Amino acid sequence: MENKKYSLKGKFKKALVTGGAGFVGSNLVESLLKDGLEVVSIDDYSAGKEINLKDLQEKYGNKLQAIDCDITKKFELSKHFIDVDVVFNQACSKMTICLKDPLRDLEVNAAGTFNLLELARDNNVKKFVHVSTGSVYGIAQYYPTDEKHPVNPTSYYGISKLAGEKYVRAFAHLYDMDTSILRYFHVYGPKQDAGAFGGVIGIFCEKAIRNRDITIYGDGTQIRSFTHVNDVVNINKLVALKGGKGEAYNCASGLKVTINEIAEKIANHGGSTADIIYEDWKPGDIKDFEVSHEKIKSLGFEFEYLDFNKGLKQTFDWYKKTVAKA
């Protein structure tokens, strides 16, 4: 059920969502359509999936335009900004891609963001919401990590996302554009990819359902702050309404869960008898996250999914139905 508190109905008319066929993007597209907005989804389908938008296209017809477009191609992108008054930049090169092709990572996360900002400026877009990552902080100097924490990324991905942030803040300063930044931390929920571009919960769910071994990188004691996608969608909408110009907000529930706990819970949900296998840490991986969400709460946000077991079961049940259809 949609939370009317964060509705954009009457505030904006037409939204452009990059990464609109992806995990968070497609959930956001659905919510915006329910609010009565026209939506342009921009996705190059390198990670996003057409199936994530198929039902929405059938239900909402021409209220949703699903465009196959790369945000690094500015001329092609420019054709789709007509009458757009709010942009949600969800597109990004994934962590898994940056290790294989760091230059492409930089092109998407920095140059692609710059293209979007220029087009938003030139088309008088009212609000630009940019998605970044908690990885910009690097190794935490203190807990809980708040938005005043120094930014010192330790991965290609974190570096490229920080470059994108710098452009977003520069446009706010140079052109008085109304831009805001969201730093995501470990989002989970329905529609998350369980393959190479997926998050740990999606991957673990798929493995458990198929009774395959679950692989953990490191010793499994690393702490994560998982946030349900429905809360993330509502945070995007709230920041579109109330986010400060050039301000960054942690997008994190504040829950603290270890990777070992997640693997055990998911294996139990699936009745899996497969093993949990441990492999070496991934390069640039940060061991622990303990995140402050006081700044986003100061805008009036209330998290709805603070019962992790409930959110995890809902997510697992979605994967179970999806795998059964495959």
Percentage of the chain surpassing pLDDT 90?
83
The 10 Å CB-count burial string (b at 16+, else e) for 128-157 is bbbbbbbbbbbebeeebbebebebebebbb
Report if residue 58 sits inside a domain. yes
Give residue 296's Cα distance to chain centre. 16
Within-domain flag for 235: yes
User: Can you tell me which residue has the tokens 């946030």?
Assistant: 227
Question: Is the confidence at residue 1, as pLDDT, over 60?
Answer: no
- The stretch 98-127 carries a mean pLDDT of 94
243 occurs within a structural domain: yes
Helix 200-209 crosses helix 259-270 at what angle (to 10 degrees)? 30
pLDDT of residue 96: 64
CATH of the domain at 75: 3.40.50.720
pLDDT of the residue at 324: 63
Domain membership of residue 326 (yes or no) is no
The mean per-residue pLDDT over the stretch 214-224 comes to 93
Domain count of the fold of the chain:
1
CA distance linking residue 286 with residue 135, whole number of Å: 8
Q: Which one has a higher pLDDT value, 102 or 35?
A: 35
Identify whether 258 is part of a domain: no
Whether 197 shows a pLDDT value over 70: the answer reads no
User: Which of 6, 157, 167, 249 is an active site residue?
Assistant: 157
Please give the residue range of the domain that contains residue 36.
11-189+225-253+289-297
pLDDT tens by residue, 66-106: 999 999 999 999 999 999 999 999 998 766 677 788 999 99
Residue 167 within a domain: yes
Residue 153 binned pLDDT confidence (cut-offs 50, 70, 90): very high
Q: Answer whether residue 281 is part of any domain.
A: no
- State yes or no: pLDDT of 193 exceeds 90: no
What pLDDT does residue 3 have?
Answer: 80
Residue 217 lies in a domain: no
Between CA 184 and CA 262 the distance in angstroms is 19
Q: What does the alpha-carbon distance between residue 177 and residue 125 come to, in Å, rounded to a whole number?
A: 8
Check if 157 is active-site.
Answer: yes
Whether the CA torsion 183, 187, 192, 193 is positive or negative: it is positive
pLDDT tens digits, one per residue of 292-323: 999 999 999 999 999 999 999 999 999 999 87
Q: Cα separation of 7 and 9, whole Å?
A: 6
Of 97, 93, 159, 171, nearest to 129 by C-alpha is 171
- Is 60 exceeded by the pLDDT of residue 253? yes
